[in-house]
Structure 1
Amino acid sequence: MPFSQNIRGTLILHACQANASCLRMSLCQDCFSPGVTHKGTPQGKWEKIGGVDCYVGTPTADISKDAVVLYFADLFGPQAVNAQLMVDDFASSGFKTIAMDYFGGDPAPPDGLDEGTKFDLWGWLGRHSPNVTRPYIDKVVSALATQGVTTLYGTGYCFGGRYVFDLAFDNVLKVAVVAHPSLLEIPKDLETYIAKSQAPLLINSCEIDPVFHLEAQAKADEVLGSGNFKPGYKRNYFPGCSHGFAVRGDMSNPEVKAGKEGAFKATIEWFSKK
C-alpha cells in the first residue's frame, strides 16, 4: 500500500478494513502534532455510556434533555486536555456534550512523533480503522436513544471529521460541523453528502492544510455551495492558521487565536440556528 515515507510531510495512506475493501485516508504531519496544550482545568466527568468511556460536559443551567452534541476528537482522543476543555466550553455555552473514546483507551500519544519515539504510527492506524472505531460510536448513539435523546449535533476535528460525515450520511445527526477534517475522499464524500444527508453542514477551514487543502475547500464550495445543498452549507476560512488550529493551535499567535475562537463561535452559532 503506497504512502509517503516522510511522516513530517504529507502522509497519504491506504488503510484496508477487515472485509478487504480499502478506504483511502489522507493525513498530514499536523494530524499527529499535539500542538499547544491550552490552559485550564477540565470540569467534565468521565461516564460509561453504552459501555463506552465518554468525557461528558453538562451545562449548569436547565437544558433540553433530548439534545446532545457529539464531539469527535482528533487522534489524541478525549483524553487530551485540549479536547476536554473544548467539551467544557460547549457545555458552558448551553450544550450537553459527549466526547466518546472511540479508540478504546488507545489514543495516539502526545509524543508520538518525537525523536526516538517507539510509537508505531502505522500499526496504530491499522488498529483504528472504521470497522473498529465505528462500533464505539454506534453503541453510544444507541444508548443515548434509550435515555430519550432525540437530537444529535456533531462536531469533528481532523480524524473526527470522517465520522461526522458518516453519521450525516446515515442521517443520525441533525446538524454537522467539521474543522480541518481528514480521512475524506474528495469529491466523492461531498457528492455523497449532498445525495444522502439532511444535516446542515459547516466547515471551518484554514490556509495551511495539506489534507483539506485549498483545492478541496474550493470543491466543497462548488458541490455544496450556491444553494446546491438545500438544508444549508457554510464554509469559514481562517487565514494564517494551519491544520489542527481549532483544537491545538498556538494561542500566543494572534491569527491562530482568532481562528480557534472564531471556529468555536461559528460552531455554537451554527448549532443554535438550526
Structure 2
Amino acid sequence: MADEAVATRAPENDAFDQGNVADSSGPPEHSGAMGEHCVSDRPTPTGEVPTGETTKLGDVDVYITKPADYPHAPSKLLLLLTSGTGIKSTNNQLQADKFAAEGFLVIMPDQFDGDAAPNSVPEPVSPVQSFLEVFKMGIVDTAKSFMIDMWLARHTPEKVLPILHRVIASAKEEFADAVANGGGIYAVGYCFGAKYVLLLGSENPDSVLWGEEPTDEEQGMVKKGPFIKAGAVAHGTQITPDEIAAVKVPISLVCVDNDPLFPNEIREAGVEALEKNKVEHEVKVFPEVPHGFAVLGDYADPKIKEAQRHAFGQMLGWLQAH
C-alpha cells in the first residue's frame, strides 16, 4: 500500500484487516471470531439521547421503547438483539428508538445476563512506532482476543436462548395487543444477535436449538419454532450455512462484502439453501464498509454513513412489508 493510501485511510477501515479470512477451498462451517465493531461502539451522534426505559420482563433486564402514540394507536412488537455491547450501549438504545419512531414497540433484552462483551476499543497508533511499542501492542491485542474468546464461551445458545424464550413468553402476555396487531413477533439482530434471530426463525428439534446434533430419536420428533414472524439481520457473526438454511420465516440479510466475520462463502451457501427451500428472503451486500457498519454510530466517512442509512431502510422496509 502506498504511503499516501496509509495517510488517508479511515480508522474504521482497519476492520478489513482483522480476523481470520475464510479458507477459499470451500464453505467454512462458521465465522468463529468477533471483531472490534462487535464489542465496542462508534461515537454517538451529537445531540441524540435515548427515550426508552430499562425494566424487567420475564425476570430479564430489557430496554423498552415505544411509539409516541402507543397504546392509543396500534403498534407491532419488535425484538432487537444487539451486538456484544448489549442493552446499556447508548447507540443500541438509539437504534431501538429509531424503530420505535417507525411504529414498533421495541424490546431489547439483555441476552448476556449482565455480562456484556469486554470493551476492546483499539488504542491510538502513532505514525512512528518502535519495535518495542509494536511488540507491546501485539501482546495487548492477543489479550483482547483471549478475553473475547472467553466471553463467547460463556454465551452459547444453551445460555442465550432460554433468556430470549423467557422474554418472548412474557412479552406475549404484557404486550398481547402489539403481538396480535402484527400477527406475531418481529426480530432484528446485529452481529452476535443476528445468529439468534436466525435460530428463533427456524424450525428445529430442541437439541438443535441448543447447539447440539439431533439424536436418532429426535429425527422423528415434532419440531419447535419458529418463534418469530419475520426477521432482518445485519453482518452476523458465528453463523453457519445450516443455520441460515433452517430459517422458515421471511428474512432480510444485510451483509458486508468480503467480511472475515461473515464470509461470502457462508452467505452464498445459506442463500442457496433459502432459495432451494423457497423461503422468502432478500440480500443486500454493501462493499467498502466495515463489519458492524449498520449499528447506529458516527463515522467520518460519508459513504459509510450513507450505507448505514440504507441498511436501516432495508431492514425497516422488510419488517413493514411483512
Give the TM-score, by structure 2 length: 0.71
Aligned to 2:267: 217
Given candidates 61, 75, 81, the residue that maps to 1:72 is 81
Count the aligned residue pairs.
250
SS at match of 1:56: strand
1:76-225 aligned within 5 A:
76-111=85-120, 116=140, 120-147=147-174, 148=176, 149-150=179-180, 151-169=184-202, 170-186=225-241, 188-193=242-247, 197=248, 199-225=249-275
Which residue in 1 is equivalent to 2:312? 264
Alignment check: 8 A CA contact 1:28 1:210 kept:
no
**Whole-Å Cα distance in 2 between the matches of residues 58 and 76 of structure 1?**
21
Q: Deviations over 1:240-271 (max 9, x none)?
A: 11211111665321221121111111111101
CA separation in 2, counterparts of 1:231 and 1:222? 10
Match of 1:49 in 2: 57
Pair 38,82 (structure 1): closer, same or farther in 2 beyond 3 Å:
same
Separation in 1 of the partners of 2:41 and 2:82? 14
Distance 2:257 2:36 in 1: 13
Give the whole-Å Cα distance in 2 for the aligned partners of 1:11 and 1:79. 31
SS of the residue 2:287 aligns to: strand
Tell me the equivalent position of 1:239.
287
- In the aligned structure 1, how far is the partner of 2:81 from the partner of 2:290? 19
Whole-angstrom distance in 1 between the partners of 2:163 and 2:52: 20
Q: Deviations over 1:83-119 (max 9, x none)?
A: 1110010011111111100111110133366565976
Structure 2 residues not aligned, in runs of 5+:
1-16, 23-28, 124-136, 203-224
Cα distance change on mapping 1:127 and 1:112 into 2, 3 Å: farther
The separation in 2 between residues aligned to 1:231 and 1:181, in whole angstroms, is 19
Distance 1:210 1:130 in 2: 22
Which moves more between the two structures, 234-243 or 205-214?
205-214
Larger RCO (CA within 8 A; separation ≥ 6): 2
TM-fit CA distance, 1:31 = 4.9
Structure 1 runs not aligned, ≥5 long: 1-6, 13-22
**1:9 Cα offset (Å):** 2.5
Q: Residue 181 and residue 163 in structure 1: after superposition, are their counterparts in 2 closer, same or farther (change >3 A)? A: same
Contact 2:19/2:33 (<8 A) preserved: no
What amino acid maps onto 2:260 in structure 1? P
| Structure with max Cα Rg | 2
Deviation at 1:272, TM superposition (A): 0.8
Q: Identity percentage over the alignment?
A: 28
Contact 1:157 1:180 in 2 (8 A): yes
1:181 and 1:243 map into 2 onto residues whose CA distance is 9
Runs of 4+ in 1 over 6 A off after TM superposition: none
- Where is the helix percentage greater, Structure 1 or Structure 2? 2
- Secondary structure of the residue that 1:177 maps to in structure 2? strand
CA distance in 1, matches of 2:265, 2:255: 12
